[in-house]
Amino acid sequence: MGYWREATGIKGPSGFGSGNTVEQVTEGIDASRLTVIVAGGSSGIEAETARVSALRGAHVIIGARNLEAANAVKQNILNSIPSARIDIIQIELRLLSSLKSVRAFVEKFLAMNLPLNILINNAGVMYCPFKLSKDGVEMQFAMNHLGHFLLTNLLLEKLKTTAEKTGIESRIVNLSSVAHVGPYSEGIKFDKLNDKKAYNDIMAYGQSKLANILHSNELARRLKIHSGRCFVPVSS
């Protein structure tokens, strides 16, 4: 049903489908009191997410590896939305997928002493040849899951305290995919993540997307227990 709905544009429970634009989905929303991190906001859907977040008034923090590309995105947004509030912090979620870079990003963000209402984990790769990240983990799993997993956990307290201080529910959005239904037959092969001989690019992608879903579901459960003020949606 997921692939069929995506291909046909049939609307889901939210009232929106693949034929809708981000502007349509967010129409009427005032985000002027919100700070949003878009992880991987220098191209593609990440850049569009940053643009529309700024359009709705949010203070947008773009996390990107390529600062030149990120600055180009920022300038394009400012050209059409002069009042946009946008900052850029470098983070390595692509190519080497460095966990050290994730920690450095969080350090810089926290030093800005800003609230954090929404964390959007968007960066990702798909169906790539076997390769290890800088930390020695298969690239699709490292980039699509581990980097975002660490980023989320390091920012979790900031999300909680912002929700408690403002009374505005925080949001963590993990970009997943209907491909989560097609991982390896074992599901997530924790004991063979880096087994090049057993690697299948399509199943490895499904494995990483399944990890996104499981992470999101567990976050939702824990945060509901925490205070009821943080809610974690899964975008697929």
Count of C-beta atoms within a 10 Å radius of residue 64: 29
Which region, left, alpha or beta, applies to residue 19 given φ > 0 means left and ψ of -120 to 50 means alpha?
Answer: alpha
Here the tokens at position 15 are 């009232």
Cα 219 to chain center, whole Å? 14
Query: Is 41 buried (19+), middle (13-18) or exposed (0-12) by CB count in 10 A?
Result: buried
Which of 3, 127, 184, 199 does the annotation list as catalytic? 199
How many alpha carbons lie under 13 Å from residue 192 in its C-beta half-sphere? 15
Catalytic residue at 199?
yes
Indicate which residues carry an active-site annotation. 199
